[in-house]
Amino acid sequence: MKTVDINFIVIGASWLLVGMLLGIGMGAAHNFALAPLHAHINLIGFVCHSVFGMAYRHWPALKDSPLAPYQFWIFVIASADHADRPLLHSDERAGTADDHRVDRRPDRRGAVRRDDLDPTPARVTGAAARAGQSVLISMPEKARAACDS
């Protein structure tokens, strides 16, 4: 396979175009739910294909290896097949960023943090929500007093 380097670079450029269009679309819509997919496409699709292409270009003897076509096809098929993995597993990680936000205790000096002044209770959306529990956390007394004054 004498053109493996060019094939890798062309496929990498194609992934770059897809990743950029996805990023532009997310930015225009202000909806970043597909950010893991965008990162995966840019890193695995563009960067890895381009690195392989540059390696084959820099060391031409690699193109003569009998393993070159196998490496090319396995990586091209696997990277396209695994492009949806961030979407499949994003719901497992969706609540982990919110798990620490429900802690509405005063800091060590006893001062109420700014997010404690919100008069609405926080709803746990992380691990408790995945377990089917709906937990409401009421505001601490200091926060309630700060809102009333």
% pLDDT > 90, the chain: 44
The verdict on 13 and 84 lying in the same domain is: yes
How many structural domains are present in the chain?
2
Q: How many CB atoms lie within 10 A of CB 135?
A: 14
List all residues 6 or more positions away from 103 whose beta carbon is below 8 Å from its beta carbon. Answer: none
DSSP summary character for residue 114: G
**Same domain, yes or no: 87 and 105:** no
Residues 30 and 103 in one domain: no
Q: Please tell me the distance from the alpha carbon of residue 44 to that of residue 109, in angstroms, as a whole number.
A: 46
Structure tokens at 47: 């960067």
Same domain, 70 and 117: no
Q: What is the pLDDT of residue 100?
A: 42
* Domain span holding position 108: 99-148
Give the pTM.
Answer: 0.57
pLDDT band at 112 (very low <50, low <70, confident <90, very high): low
Amino acid at 19: G
